[in-house]
Chain A
Amino acid sequence: MRDIFNVGLLLSTIRLATPLILAALGGLFSERSGVINIALEGKMLAGAFTAAAVTYAADEKLHLGNASPWVGLLAAILAGLFIAYIYAVACIRFKADQVVSGAAINILMFGVPGFLSGAFFLSSGSTPQLPKEHLIPWTPIVIAFGMVAVSWYVMYRTPFGLRLRAVGEKPEAADAAGVSVNRIRYSGVLIAGVLAGIGGAYLSIGQSSLYSRNMTAGRGFIALAALIFGKWRPVQTMLACLLFGFTEALSIQMQGAVKLPSGEDIPVQFIQMVPYVLTIIVLAGFIGSSRPPKALGIPYQKEK
Chain B
Amino acid sequence: MKNLLKELLFPLIAVLAAFVVGGILILLVGDNPIVAYRLLLGSALSWPDGIGYTLFHATPLIFTGLAVLVGFRCGLFNIGAEGQLYVAAFATAWVGITFANLPAILLVPMCCLAAILVGAFWGAIPGVLKAKFGSHEVINTIMLNFIAIALVSYFTQYHYKVPGDPILESAPIGWGAHIARLGKFVPGLPQRIPLNLAFLLALFCCLLVYLFLWRTKWGYEIRSTGSNPLAAEYGGISIKKQIVIAMAVSGALAGMVGINDVMGYRYRYYDGFSDQYGFTGIAVALLGRNHPVGVILAAILFAVLQHGGIYVDGFSEHVTKDIVQVLQGIIILFVAAEEFFKYMSGRLRIKNPGKV
Residues on A lying within 8 angstroms of B by beta carbon are 36, 38, 86, 89-90, 94-97, 99-101, 103-116, 118-120, 122, 124-125, 218, 221, 224-225, 228, 264, 267, 269-270, 272-273, 276-277, 279-280, 283-285, 292
The docked-state distance in angstroms from the alpha carbon of A124 to that of B158 is 31
Given known pairs A38-B138, A269-B154, the reply for A86 and B325 (CB within 8 Å) is no
Q: Is the CB of A119 within 8 A of B326?
A: no
- Residue interface mask B320-346, A partner, CB < 8 A = 1: 111111111110110111111001000
Q: Is the CB of B157 within 8 A of A94?
A: no
Residues on B lying within 8 angstroms of A by beta carbon are 25, 29-31, 77, 79, 129, 132-133, 135-136, 138-140, 142-144, 146-147, 150-151, 153-154, 157-158, 276, 279-280, 282-283, 286, 318-330, 332-333, 335-340, 343
The listed residue with most B CB atoms (<10 A of its CB), out of A36, A122, A270, A280, is: A280
B127 to chain A, nearest CB (A): 13
Q: Please, which residues of chain B bring their CB within 8 A of the CB of A292?
A: 136
Q: Is the CB of A115 within 8 A of B320?
A: yes
Q: Please, which residues of chain B bring their CB within 8 A of the CB of A224?
A: 139, 142
**5 sampled A-B residue pairs with Cβ under 8 A:** A94-B343, A96-B333, A104-B329, A115-B29, A118-B318
Q: Please, which residues of chain A bring their CB within 8 A of the CB of B30?
A: 119
The docked-state distance in angstroms from the alpha carbon of A105 to that of B334 is 11
Closest A residue by C-beta to B77:
A99
The docked-state distance in angstroms from the alpha carbon of A167 to that of B147 is 34
The docked-state distance in angstroms from the alpha carbon of A109 to that of B279 is 13
**Pick the contact of B139 from A104, A110, A279 — CB < 8 Å?**
A279
Q: Please, which residues of chain A bring their CB within 8 A of the CB of B343?
A: 94
Q: Is the CB of A114 within 8 A of B320?
A: yes
Q: Is the CB of B136 within 8 A of A107?
A: no
B117 to chain A, nearest CB (A): 21
Q: Please, which residues of chain B bring their CB within 8 A of the CB of A110?
A: 276, 322, 325, 329
The docked-state distance in angstroms from the alpha carbon of A292 to that of B153 is 32
Q: Is the CB of A276 within 8 A of B339?
A: no
A219 to chain B, nearest CB (A): 11
Q: Is the CB of B154 within 8 A of A116?
A: no
- The A interface is mostly helix, strand or loop, or mixed, namely helix
**Pick the contact of A104 from B136, B138, B323, B333 — CB < 8 Å?**
B333
Q: Is the CB of A101 within 8 A of B133?
A: no
Q: Please, which residues of chain B bring their CB within 8 A of the CB of A96?
A: 333, 336-340
Q: Is the CB of A269 within 8 A of B151?
A: yes
A60 to chain B, nearest CB (A): 18
Q: Is the CB of B333 within 8 A of A120?
A: no
Q: Please, which residues of chain B bring their CB within 8 A of the CB of A104?
A: 283, 329-330, 332-333, 336
The docked-state distance in angstroms from the alpha carbon of A296 to that of B330 is 24
20 new A-B contacts at CB < 8 Å, known A104-B332, A277-B147: A100-B336, A101-B332, A101-B336, A103-B79, A106-B329, A107-B279, A107-B325, A107-B328, A110-B276, A111-B326, A115-B320, A116-B29, A119-B31, A267-B154, A267-B158, A269-B151, A273-B150, A283-B133, A283-B135, A285-B133
Closest A residue by C-beta to B28:
A119
Given known pairs A101-B337, A111-B326, A115-B25, the reply for A228 and B139 (CB within 8 Å) is yes
A13 to chain B, nearest CB (A): 20
Q: Is the CB of A105 within 8 A of B333?
A: yes
Q: Please, which residues of chain B bring their CB within 8 A of the CB of A99?
A: 77, 79, 138
**Pick the contact of A276 from B31, B135, B143, B280 — CB < 8 Å?**
B143
Q: Please, which residues of chain B bring their CB within 8 A of the CB of A125?
A: 320, 322
B302 to chain A, nearest CB (A): 11
B320 to chain A, nearest CB (A): 3
Given known pairs A273-B151, A280-B140, A284-B129, the reply for A111 and B322 (CB within 8 Å) is yes
B322 to chain A, nearest CB (A): 3
Q: Please, which residues of chain B bring their CB within 8 A of the CB of A124?
A: 320
Q: Please, which residues of chain A bring their CB within 8 A of the CB of B333?
A: 86, 90, 96, 101, 104-105, 108
A156 to chain B, nearest CB (A): 25
Q: Please, which residues of chain B bring their CB within 8 A of the CB of A113?
A: 322
Q: Please, which residues of chain B bring their CB within 8 A of the CB of A284?
A: 129, 132-133, 135
A273 to chain B, nearest CB (A): 5
Q: Please, which residues of chain A bring their CB within 8 A of the CB of B325?
A: 107-108, 110-112, 114-115
Q: Please, which residues of chain A bring their CB within 8 A of the CB of B129?
A: 280, 283-284
Q: Is the CB of A270 within 8 A of B150?
A: yes
B135 to chain A, nearest CB (A): 4
Q: Please, which residues of chain A bring their CB within 8 A of the CB of B77?
A: 99-100
Q: Please, which residues of chain A bring their CB within 8 A of the CB of B282?
A: 100, 103
Q: Is the CB of B29 within 8 A of A90?
A: no
Q: Is the CB of B326 within 8 A of A118?
A: no
**Pick the contact of A38 from B132, B133, B142, B339 — CB < 8 Å?**
B142
A102 to chain B, nearest CB (A): 9
A50 to chain B, nearest CB (A): 15
A114 to chain B, nearest CB (A): 3
Given known pairs A100-B286, A276-B143, the reply for A270 and B154 (CB within 8 Å) is yes
**Pick the contact of B319 from A90, A106, A118, A264 — CB < 8 Å?**
A118
